[in-house]
Amino acid sequence: MTKTFDHGGGVRSVAVPIPDNPLGHTLVHVVETDRGPVLVDTGWDDPASWDTLVAGLVACGTAVSEVYGVVVTHHHPDHHGLSARVREASGAWVALHAADAAIVRRARGTRPERWFTYMAAKLAAAGAPEEHVAPLRTARGRRLPGLAAALPDREIVPGELLDLPGRRLRAIWTPGHTPGHVCLHLEEEHPARLPGHGRLFSGDHLLPRITPHIGLYEDPDDATVADPLGDYLDSLERIGRLAPAEVLPAHQHTFTDASGRVRELLAHHEERLAGLLTLLAEPLTPWQLAERMEWNRPWADIPYGSRNIAVSEAESHLRRLVKQGRAEPVTGSEPVTYVAV
Ligand SMILES: [Zn+2]
Ligand SMILES: [Zn+2]
């Protein structure tokens, strides 16, 4: 069954399923413009998801062939997956921030072996045991997700209005979950006149009941020592200051009091960083830290792929603590260990 929502003021949403994923669905937001609907995100590239999107647009009183443009919050496949099909069916432009467009471009040009070599080296340096790293050394030829992701036609420029004739939709750069994640601010009075400044399409940046994954910006071709968690916390504060009347995220449900949610998340992350410092009373590799961190299940029950994500998250927290001067690498340790200062 196709689920659509009418948020008033020419904004609707279609819940597009993500196959085999506990998140359930991506909310594709449909913004009416003078030239036809503009979509914020498109959903996972899967036949059933596509059918749901197509039927959902009809339920919204339009059709996929009418779509004028596609604004993508970030390059992840549950957001950008169907962009190419929508473009094919409609001739719509597809817009993405330059930093995420660069990831799409590189993923298309990267041989899977290069990615596996990078991951094997990275995990070994993080202190992963040999039995965890070994499968990556022999994984050549496996298919990587995102290889067929659409190259965008347009760049989302932070602070600028997007091409939505008759509407005011401004891009706000919110790096952290990905380097090019953007939120989109609909600078129009709320249709129910809720207090605050317009409405915000928040992608994965600000969600009502979960926190997005913040790992490293994994990129075999970029040696920059980025601080994604620092980026994310700065981006949260930016959204808190914006104080939108209502938030329309890409998962779960709409909510008000964005500033309250931002405060909650900032407090959650500070608490988590403080908890990690306690663990770092003894020197630990990123792998050992990940093993000791709190996850939604015991470490022994975390599957292989999710452990890689967990280590990336541990590393992003270490980067933040080092940057804040609260932890430091132990000189001469190999693989490198970190300890609270
Ligand atoms: Zn995402
Ligand atoms: Zn997502």
Asked whether the beta carbons of 97 and 182 are under 8 A apart, the reply is yes
Give the Å distance between the CA of 316 and the centre of ligand 1.
Answer: 16
The span from the CA of 82 to the CA of 44, in Å, is 6
Q: Which ligand is nearest to the CA of 174?
A: 1
Token pair listed for 246: 């209502």
Predicted confidence (pLDDT) per residue in 154-168, tens digit? 999 999 999 999 999
Asked whether the beta carbons of 149 and 75 are under 8 A apart, the reply is yes
Token look-up 């990831």 returns 103
Beta bridge partners of 14: 4, 28
Q: Which ligand is nearest to the CA of 180?
A: 1
Asked whether the beta carbons of 146 and 77 are under 8 A apart, the reply is yes
Question: Peptide bond before 220: cis, by omega within 30 degrees of 0?
Answer: no
State the DSSP H helix or E strand holding residue 48, giving kind and residue range, or none if neither: helix 47-59
Say what the pLDDT of residue 145 is. 57
Say what the pLDDT of residue 221 is. 76
Asked whether the beta carbons of 190 and 172 are under 8 A apart, the reply is no
Give the Å distance between the CA of 126 and the centre of ligand 1.
Answer: 24
Asked whether the beta carbons of 83 and 100 are under 8 A apart, the reply is no
| One-character DSSP codes across 202-271 | EETTS-SS----------TT------HHHHHHHHHHHHHHH--SEEEESSS--BS-HHHHHHHHHHHHHH
Token pair listed for 306: 């999710």
Give the Å distance between the CA of 118 and the centre of ligand 1.
Answer: 21
The span from the CA of 315 to the CA of 200, in Å, is 30
Instruction: Please determine, for residue 149, whether its predicted confidence score (pLDDT) is greater than 90.
Output: no
The span from the CA of 202 to the CA of 252, in Å, is 12
Instruction: Please determine, for residue 17, whether its predicted confidence score (pLDDT) is greater than 80.
Output: yes
Say what the pLDDT of residue 167 is. 98
Say what the pLDDT of residue 207 is. 97
pTM equals: 0.94
**Sequence-ordered list of residues with C-beta below 8 angstroms from that of 137, at least 6 positions apart, any chain:** 116, 117, 120
Give the Å distance between the CA of 203 and the centre of ligand 2.
Answer: 7
Q: Taking all residues of the chain, what is their mean pLDDT, rounded to a whole number?
A: 94
Taking the alpha carbons at both ends of the chain, their separation in whole angstroms is: 55
Percent of the chain with pLDDT over 70: 97
Instruction: Please determine, for residue 100, whether its predicted confidence score (pLDDT) is greater than 70.
Output: yes
Instruction: Please determine, for residue 322, whether its predicted confidence score (pLDDT) is greater than 90.
Output: yes
25-31 vs 11-17, strand pairing mode: antiparallel
Give the Å distance between the CA of 282 and the centre of ligand 2.
Answer: 35
The span from the CA of 13 to the CA of 5, in Å, is 5
Domains (range + CATH), the chain = 4-104+145-264 (3.60.15.10)
Give the Å distance between the CA of 20 and the centre of ligand 2.
Answer: 14
179: closest CA among 259, 100, 78, 90?
Answer: 100
The span from the CA of 323 to the CA of 211, in Å, is 22
Q: How deeply is 192 buried, as exposed, middle or buried, from its count of CB atoms within 10 A (0-12, 13-18, 19+)?
A: exposed
Give the Å distance between the CA of 331 and the centre of ligand 1.
Answer: 35
CA atoms within 13 A on the CB side of 323: 14
Q: Which ligand is nearest to the CA of 250?
A: 2
